[in-house]
């Protein structure tokens, strides 16, 4: 009896040891698998980041962008994804790359994801890291480089999102186009403008355009449904020249100064509305003096005892679509550059805030525009938070698409990031970049699967 019990106990011990061993083995192998999976994810992420760095290293800064360097990179990525591709040169030396992921029902209007390949220049000596080396700072995970926010991030995130969707077996219903356009930073006349006027664009039967937005310092992504248009104003004043010691009326510089005082009063009043929290920054007219030119030059500077006969100033004015253009025009002609003070003015750039029907160029952000609702849904599905739709403070290529009556949404998935577009030390955190890919994955999926009617989905078309 005693012996039997002892034996039973020994058996029990043996069985428990085996069970423990099996459990240990199972647990360890599971853990190992987890380890393998997370190692693979780290590896995949670093490959994605190095592709981004490669695109950032292409030298496409204005005023001498090497567009072919960027084109070669985009085309090789497109090839690895088996996307259809073509290079279009509306202007020699300024290629536009058009990629296509064909949908199952080509009769449906297509989705177009737009980005520009050029970037603004950088003052290299003011940067912590060289602006075209795309250095990844291991301490904070930030990637520094011109174009990290504006907007090489977006251009490549589109492709990374498509890579993932393809891998998951997703097939679009609608054609998805990716357009990589030149010259946005200098006005888009040789890029997006030529493109929208082309037969190629006509044939694409675009139903919606997604284009760039901006960075957001908080956790809410910014989204733009319209934008302020640029009025680049040059004011010239003339007056009698005279001795530097003489006081007299109507000098060129005196006349220009009066205008600048008037412009400054207007600027301050507009700015006060923002400071008081009554208006958003892009809902007011902004005016900034960008150059002043006067004086008679001498060998070592300017002649000091002569009052010049001509003086000139340049202003960057940004006009929201909510404003009455005629009253601003009248203010310029009557107060800022009146003929009565020997003044004249011209616009280096003047884009109307109205479309050809005289209505403000705006994309609807309500249920009348299914693309808007789909975007909201897609971002939320990806776990992103969307801020209140805004008017973009500056210009983008989206205006060319909106001008044609197409809904165009300005959106870059950059949250928790200081706004450094066109600034020194522009950067994007690698995790924010990776998160953005998921967001586009969700948007493309939502847009490309949508089979509902898209007619009359912008206010412009309704009118």
Per partner kind, with CB cut-offs from 5 to 8 A, the member of Zn ion, ligand FME, none near residue 370 is: none
Per partner kind, with CB cut-offs from 5 to 8 A, the member of Zn ion, ligand FME, none near residue 349 is: ligand FME
Establish if 121 lies at the interface with ligand FME (CB under 6 A): no
Q: CB nearer to ligand FME: give 145 or 410.
A: 410
Q: CB nearer to ligand FME: give 224 or 447.
A: 224
Per partner kind, with CB cut-offs from 5 to 8 A, the member of Zn ion, ligand FME, none near residue 395 is: ligand FME
- Binding residue per annotation — 185? yes
Task: Please choose, from the candidates 17, 55, 7, the residue with its C-alpha nearest in 3D space to the C-alpha of residue 153.
Answer: 55
Site string for ligand FME, 371-410 (x = CB under 6 A): -----------------------xx---------------
Report the nearest approach of ligand FME to the CB of residue 223 (Å).
Answer: 17
- Binding residue per annotation — 324? no
Burial 283-302 (b: 16+ CB within 10 A, else e): bbbbbeeeeeebbeeeeeee
Please report which helix (H) or strand (E) contains residue 399, including its range.
Answer: helix 398-403
Task: Please choose, from the candidates 190, 191, 119, 183, the residue with its C-alpha nearest in 3D space to the C-alpha of residue 151.
Answer: 119
Determine which one of 77, 160, 184, 283 is catalytic: 184
- Binding residue per annotation — 11? no
- Residue 303 backbone dihedrals phi, psi, to 5 degrees: -65, 130
- Residue 86 backbone dihedrals phi, psi, to 5 degrees: -150, 150
Per partner kind, with CB cut-offs from 5 to 8 A, the member of Zn ion, ligand FME, none near residue 151 is: Zn ion
- Residue pair 138/81 in contact by the 8 Å Cβ criterion: no
- Binding residue per annotation — 422? yes
E-only strand ranges, 320-423: 343-350, 385-386, 390-392, 408-411
CB-neighbour burial class of residue 452 (10 A; exposed 0-12, middle 13-18, buried 19+): exposed
202 carries an active-site annotation? no
Among 62, 198, 289, 349, binds ligand FME (CB under 6 A): 349
Among 65, 131, 230, 384, binds ligand FME (CB under 6 A): 230
Per partner kind, with CB cut-offs from 5 to 8 A, the member of ligand FME, Zn ion, none near residue 187 is: ligand FME
Report how far Cα 123 is from the mean position of its chain's Cα atoms: 21
Determine which one of 77, 118, 175, 227 is catalytic: 118
Establish if 187 lies at the interface with ligand FME (CB under 6 A): yes
Distance CA 294, CA 257 (A): 11
Report the nearest approach of ligand FME to the CB of residue 319 (Å).
Answer: 12
Q: CB nearer to ligand FME: give 262 or 349.
A: 349
Establish if 234 lies at the interface with ligand FME (CB under 6 A): no
| Residues near Zn ion (CB under 5 A) | 150-151, 212
Per partner kind, with CB cut-offs from 5 to 8 A, the member of Zn ion, ligand FME, none near residue 394 is: ligand FME
Report the nearest approach of ligand FME to the CB of residue 349 (Å).
Answer: 6
- Binding residue per annotation — 116? yes
Q: CB nearer to ligand FME: give 180 or 450.
A: 180
299 carries an active-site annotation? no
Establish if 214 lies at the interface with ligand FME (CB under 6 A): no
E-only strand ranges, 17-169: 84-91, 94-101, 110-116, 135-137, 142-144
Look at phi and psi of residue 274 and say left if phi exceeds 0, alpha if psi is from -120 to 50, else beta: alpha
Burial 13-43 (b: 16+ CB within 10 A, else e): eeeeeeeeeeeeeeeeeeeeeeeeeeeeeee
Catalytic residues: 118, 184
Binding site feature residues for Zn(2+): 116, 150, 185, 212, 422
Would you tell me which residues interact with ligand FME (CB under 6 A)? 185, 187, 230, 349, 394-395
């Amino acid at each position: 009896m005693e012996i039997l019990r002892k034996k039973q106990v020994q058996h029990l011990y043996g069985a428990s040891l085996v069970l423990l061993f099996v459990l240990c083995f199972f647990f360890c192998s599971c853990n190992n698998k987890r380890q393998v999976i997370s190692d693979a994810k780290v590896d995949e992420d670093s490959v994605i980041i190095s592709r981004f760095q490669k695109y950032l290293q292409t030298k496409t800064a204005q005023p001498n962008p090497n567009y072919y360097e960027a084109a070669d990179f985009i085309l090789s990525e497109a090839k690895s994804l088996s996307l259809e591709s073509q290079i279009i040169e509306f202007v020699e030396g300024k290629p536009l790359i058009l990629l296509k992921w064909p949908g199952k029902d080509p009769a449906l209007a297509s989705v177009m994801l737009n980005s520009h390949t050029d970037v603004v220049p950088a003052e290299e000596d003011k940067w912590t890291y060289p602006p075209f080396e795309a250095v990844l700072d291991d301490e904070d995970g930030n990637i520094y480089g011109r174009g990290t926010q504006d907007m090489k991030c977006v251009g490549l995130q589109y492709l990374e999102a498509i890579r993932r969707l393809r891998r998951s077996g997703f097939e679009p219903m609608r054609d998805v186009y990716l357009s990589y356009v030149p010259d946005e930073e200098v006005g888009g006349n040789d890029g997006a403008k030529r493109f929208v006027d082309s037969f190629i664009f006509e044939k694409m039967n675009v139903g919606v355009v997604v284009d760039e937005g901006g960075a957001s310092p908080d956790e809410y992504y910014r989204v733009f449904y319209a934008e302020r248009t640029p009025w680049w104003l040059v004011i010239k004043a003339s007056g009698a020249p005279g001795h530097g010691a003489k006081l007299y009326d109507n000098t060129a510089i005196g006349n220009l100064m009066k205008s600048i005082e008037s412009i400054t009063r207007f600027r301050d009043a507009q700015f006060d509305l923002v400071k008081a929290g009554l208006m958003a920054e892009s809902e007011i007219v902004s005016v900034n003096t960008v150059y002043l030119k006067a004086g008679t030059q001498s060998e070592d500077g300017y002649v000091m005892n002569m009052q010049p006969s001509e003086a000139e100033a340049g202003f960057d004015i940004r006009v929201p679509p909510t404003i009455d253009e005629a009253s601003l025009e009248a203010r310029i002609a009557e107060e800022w550059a009146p003929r009565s003070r020997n003044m004249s003015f011209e616009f280096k750039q003047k884009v109307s805030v109205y479309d050809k029907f005289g209505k403000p160029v705006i994309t609807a952000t309500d249920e009348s525009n299914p693309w808007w609702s789909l975007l909201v849904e897609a971002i939320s599905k990806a776990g992103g938070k969307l801020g209140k739709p805004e008017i973009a403070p500056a210009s983008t290529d989206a205006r060319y698409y909106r001008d044609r009556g197409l809904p165009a949404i300005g959106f870059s998935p950059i949250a928790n990031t200081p706004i450094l577009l066109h600034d020194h030390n522009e950067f994007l955190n690698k995790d924010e970049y990776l998160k953005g890919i998921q967001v586009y994955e969700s948007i493309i999926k939502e847009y490309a699967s949508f089979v509902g009617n898209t007619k009359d989905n912008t206010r412009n078309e309704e009118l």
